[in-house]
Amino acid sequence: MNEPQRAFLDDLLATASPSGFETASQRVWTEYVREFADDVSTDAYGNAVAVHEGEPDAPTIAFTGHADEIGFIVRDILDDGYLRIGRIGGSDRTVSKGQHVTVHADEPVNGVIGQTAIHLRDTGDDEYEDIAGQFVDIGATDADEARNYVEIGDPVTFSTAAAELVGDRIAARGIDNRTGTWAAAEGLRRAVDADAEPTVYAVSTVQEEVGLQGARMVGVDLDDVDAFVTVDVTHATDNPDVDREHRGPIELGAGPVVSRGSANHPALVDLATTAAADADVEVQLQAAGTRTGTDADAFYTARGGVPSLTVSIPNRYMHTPVEVIDTGDLAAVADLLAAVAEGASDAMPLAVDV
C-alpha cells in the first residue's frame, strides 16, 4: 500500500459515516476515484458509482463496499441537559458506556456516554443497560443550553481515532466497512491501470447496516451489470476469547475470504478462486449456509437474479470502537478484485449447469 492509498484509507477512517448520514465519507470517496474513473455519479440517497468503460462487447462487473458505519442518534434532550440516544444499526451496548463520542450537529459537539463510577454502584448487580437507557453528557447544565448545540435526530459516533498496531495491523472505529469501499476503489484503479477489457464499476453504497437499503437501490439502477462482487468484513475468530462453537478457520493476515453458499454464485466463486491462484493471492474460504449478511444478499436477487459474491477482510472485534485488521489482507483484496476483472471475459456467461 503506497502513501496515497494509505492516506485515502486514513481519510475514510477519520470521517464519520453513520447510516443515513454518509455524505462526508462519500465526498472523500468520490474525490479519490475521480482521479482515475471515466465517470463518477451519485443518486438521491448518496450511493456513489465510479466506472471504467471497457470494450463494447465485454462483460460488466461491479465491485462494491458500504460506506456506512454503526452509531447512535439523539432521540431526546432531557431537562437536565443529558441526551438520550437510540441505535443506528447493530451498536453494542456492552462497549458504549464510558466512551468518548461526537455528536455530529451543525458543528461537531464532544460528549461522553456516562458510566457511574465503580465506587458508587453495586458491582454484584452490574448489568449492561440497553442503549435506550444510556445517555450522552455534553456538559450542558439544562435542556435549553443543550439545544444551543444539538437537536433531536443528530447522529453520534465514537471518537476513536485509527491507531497503528504491531506490524501491518491497525485498529479503528468504522473499519466495517470503510475498508470495503477502499478496496472497491482500489480494485477499480488497478483495473484502469491494466486497461481491463470489461467495464468495471466501483460502488460505495449507503445504509447497509440498517437493511442493505443502498444495495437495493443500486442493484436496480445498474441494470447492465453481469456480476457483483461485494467487499465487506468478516469475523476473524483467532482471538482467545472467542467461544469454541464460534471459532472458524478465518485468521488475520491469511488473506481475503471468499464465501461459498447462499447468495454466492458458484461460477463466480470459481472465477474468484481461479483468479486468486493466477495472481498468487492466498485466500481463505468461508461457508455461508443461509445468508451472507452483506450487500450481496440484496444484489443477487435484483432484476430476477444477478450472480454475486462476497469477498471479505478478516476483522477482529466487529461493531466495537477497536476493530482490528491486517492491511496486508486489505491490499490483497484489491489485487484479487483486479484479477477477477482480468478473468471475467473468459468466465462468462456465469450460469449454473442444470
As given in the structure block, the three cell numbers for residue 227 are 456480476
Decide: 155 and 71 in contact? Cβ < 8 Å. Answer: yes
Identify the active-site residue in 208, 245, 282, 342.
208
Q: Is 209 annotated as a binding residue?
A: yes
Work out the widest C-alpha separation in the chain, in whole angstroms: 71
Q: Strand 169-172 vs strand 163-164: parallel, antiparallel, or unpaired?
A: antiparallel
As given in the structure block, the three cell numbers for residue 271 are 472465477
First to last CA, the chain: 42
| Spatial distance between the Cα atoms of 33 and 233, rounded to a whole number of angstroms | 21
Q: Strand 284-287 vs strand 60-66: parallel, antiparallel, or unpaired?
A: unpaired
Decide: 57 and 198 in contact? Cβ < 8 Å. Answer: no
| Spatial distance between the Cα atoms of 271 and 77, rounded to a whole number of angstroms | 53
Q: What are phi and psi of 337, to 5 degrees?
A: -60, -45
Decide: 207 and 213 in contact? Cβ < 8 Å. Answer: yes
Q: Is 319 annotated as a binding residue?
A: yes
Q: What is the DSSP letter of 316?
A: B
As given in the structure block, the three cell numbers for residue 326 are 491486517
| Spatial distance between the Cα atoms of 172 and 13, rounded to a whole number of angstroms | 7
Decide: 347 and 270 in contact? Cβ < 8 Å. Answer: yes
Q: Is 35 annotated as a binding residue?
A: no
| Spatial distance between the Cα atoms of 187 and 183, rounded to a whole number of angstroms | 6
Of 305, 318, 263, 319, nearest to 287 by C-alpha is 263
Q: Is 329 annotated as a binding residue?
A: no
- Give catalytic status of residue 3 as yes or no: no
As given in the structure block, the three cell numbers for residue 129 are 443497560
Q: Is 176 annotated as a binding residue?
A: yes
As given in the structure block, the three cell numbers for residue 301 are 436477487
Binding-site residues from annotation for Zn(2+): 66, 176, 209, 232, 319
Binding-site residues from annotation: 66, 176, 209, 232, 319
Any idea which residues carry the catalytic annotation? 208
